[in-house]
């Protein structure tokens, strides 16, 4: 096993579970757009509690079940690819927040794979 590293950017987008774009959940739309754009990878994480711009707390606790839990969409790639993709996000996100962080991308590669 060998590793390859390169600098990159990690983006975390915070939206609500009930947010939509083009008649599908916004988180799914972001993942599909990232995939179409060739972004290295993306994942969606569902939160158990949180609040956003309107300061309403959304929680999954039994006594106050929410149908709009917080969702984080995380993707990472080279700075060039991420910056080129950001305008696509602006087309589908009407409300939310994002964090852009400098990171080191690590790719694990089996030593017996061609091209290693």
Contact residues for 25 (Cβ-Cβ < 8 A; gap 6+): 17, 19
Of 95, 105, 79, the residue nearest 13 (C-alpha): 95
Helix (H), strand (E) at residue 28? helix 26-36
- Give all domains of the chain, ordered by start, each with its CATH number: 2-109 (3.30.70.120)
Cβ proximity of 71 and 97 under 8 Å: no
Of 17, 13, 51, the residue nearest 34 (C-alpha): 13
65-115 per-position pLDDT tens digit? 556 788 999 999 999 999 999 999 999 998 889 999 999 999 888 877 665
pTM here is: 0.83
């Amino acid at each position: 096993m060998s590793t390859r590293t390169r600098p990159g950017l990690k983006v975390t987008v915070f939206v609500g579970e009930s947010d939509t774009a083009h008649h599908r959940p916004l988180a799914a739309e972001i993942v599909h757009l990232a995939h179409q754009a060739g972004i290295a990878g993306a994942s969606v994480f569902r939160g158990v509690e949180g609040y956003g711009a309107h300061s309403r707390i959304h929680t999954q606790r039994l006594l106050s079940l929410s149908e709009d839990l917080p969702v984080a969409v995380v993707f990472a790639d080279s700075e060039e690819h991420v910056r080129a993709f950001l305008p696509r996000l602006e087309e589908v996100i009407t409300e939310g927040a994002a964090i852009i962080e400098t990171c080191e991308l690590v790719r694990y590669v089996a030593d017996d794979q061609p091209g290693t």
